[in-house]
Amino acid sequence: MPPVDVLIQLSDCEAISGGWLEQPVNAWSSLAFAGVGAGIAATAGNAEPRERNDRLVFGGLLIATGIGSFLFHGPQPSAAQFLHDVTFLAALWFLIATNVTGALSDRSRTGVTLLGILLISAVLGAGALTNAVTGVLVVALVVSEVVRWRTVRPDPAWYGVAIAALLVGLGLFIMGRTGSALCDPGSLLQAHAGWHALAAVFLGAYFFATFPARTRSGSR
């Protein structure tokens, strides 16, 4: 696998600075995930008992995602790419697992979630399969969402925010890649940083749009 700095230069536009934070703008913007995660976890005390656990777990996963992305774009330790990839994919898997197992007991849902995260970690550790795993999980999230929509409708306001953030964020992600129209390696305005912020908003808004109703509908 190529070094982390080579992988970053190939995809994320911002120039490698050679300092403590190799990509300062992308590194600091990564903490948007941690901020959203902390916000979700902070609301756990006001939630229903079953949903309280979901808020703590998902909030923790987003905090880990922010830290992993910060390390990947910033100090770049040897395990930076693995941490960047596995934390974000674990957050996606948590949403999928909860959509699929919403009516199961807490213990069963926790087991499925942990098993999936362990499997994702093993696959990523075996080779550079991040894009393939991401594609599979995105399709799985869409399918699980369609299935759950038939029985439990999400909050329309939060859901609208989630979809808008996702669409604009994906546009920034694509147009801000190295060599694309919005790529300016030396600029303080990095489209990839915008993707970080909007991806964090998407995950947080999707959580608040779906988890309260779905948790209650599956409670026992």
- Each of the 220 residues of the chain gets a pLDDT tens digit; together they read 455 555 555 578 898 888 889 999 999 999 999 999 999 999 988 877 778 888 999 999 999 999 999 999 999 998 998 999 999 999 999 999 888 876 555 667 778 888 999 999 999 888 767 888 989 999 999 888 888 777 778 888 999 999 999 999 999 998 888 888 888 999 999 999 999 999 999 999 999 998 765 555 444 3
pLDDT given at position 105: 59
CATH code of domain 4-217: 1.20.1070
User: CA dist 198 to 7, 76, 210, Å?
Assistant: 22, 23, 18
Asked if 69 contacts 37 with a C-beta cutoff of 8 angstroms, the reply is: no
pLDDT tens across 135-193, in order?
999 999 988 888 877 777 888 899 999 999 999 999 999 888 888 888 899 999 999 99
What residue spans define the domains of the chain?
4-217
Confidence at residue 28, expressed as pLDDT on a 0 to 100 scale: 97
pLDDT at 45: 86
CB environment 167-204: b (16+ within 10 A), e (fewer): eebeebbebbbeeeebbeeeeeebbbbbbbbbbbbbbb
Angstrom distance (rounded) from CA 135 to CA 142: 11
> 0.85 cut: is pTM over it?
yes
Q: Give the pLDDT confidence score for residue 218 in this predicted structure.
A: 46
Whether residue 190 contacts residue 13, with contact meaning beta carbons closer than 8 Å, is answered with yes
Distance separating alpha carbons of residues 60 and 42, to the nearest angstrom: 11
Residue 4's pLDDT is 58
CB atoms within 10 A of CB 130: 19
